[in-house]
A and B are shown apart, each in its own frame.
Chain A
Amino acid sequence: DAKTTQPPSMDCAEGRAANLPCNHSTISGNEYVYWYRQIHSQGPQYIIHGLKNNETNEMASLIITEDRKSSTLILPHATLRDTAVYYCIVSPLIISNFGNEKLTFGTGTRLTIIP
């Protein structure tokens, strides 16, 4: 069962901010929101994760709504190399020890950066 809903595709102009939405209305209190991306057929790459506070790192920012039912990944200045499929995943942390948690990938959003 899919825990997240993402648009299948999006376009963004090069140099602009890319905002990728994700709905996770059934998220549990112990579940984090993770974002990965996959460039062409390479192995997926971790981008960022968060629980309830907004997070920022060198790659992106993650904005999580107060009710935690949705989030937005922001790539502040998109480049052509950001063209990829972006996956939003919800999962507990391993250290929470809630049994056999595992990362489950859906079909993601195909982001195309337009020159």
Chain B
Amino acid sequence: DADVTQTPRNRITKTGKRIMLECSQTKGHDRMYWYRQDPGLGLRLIYYSFDVKDINKGEISDGYSVSRQAQAKFSLSLESAIPNQTALYFCATSDYNDRAFFGQGTRLTVV
């Protein structure tokens, strides 16, 4: 079983719809992250959380929200999806050495 699991793996949604991407981890790490990847742009940080009561905006948080329901769960929501949010989304956790462990990714298409 994967250490970091993302659901769904692929999703097509319509403009204006609300969508939630879920992430769960079995690493026991406190720190969790959501990244977005667009072709040719590397990974960009959307939100991150250092523990259950801590939520921080990353460099591209506009249009997104997150919820840290438990140490193991970190969800990313798009309240009203728009086409330029079409991207590959990654969830990650990190350990005390800042080694990050990534999920398999969610490919989101907004039409």
Contacts and interface: CB of A to CB of B under 8 A. Distances in A.
**B interface majority secondary structure:** strand
Interface in A84-98: 87, 91-95
Contact-residue bracket for chain A: 20 to 34
A49 interface: yes
Contacts, number: 66
Contacts of B99: 34, 46, 49
Interface residues of B, number: 29
Contact of B92 (A43, A87, A107): A43
A91 B90 CA distance: 19
Nearest to A48: B99
A49 B98 contact: yes
B83 to A, nearest CB: 20
Interface string A25-38: 00000001010100
Interface of A: 32, 34, 36, 41-46, 49, 87, 91-95, 100-108
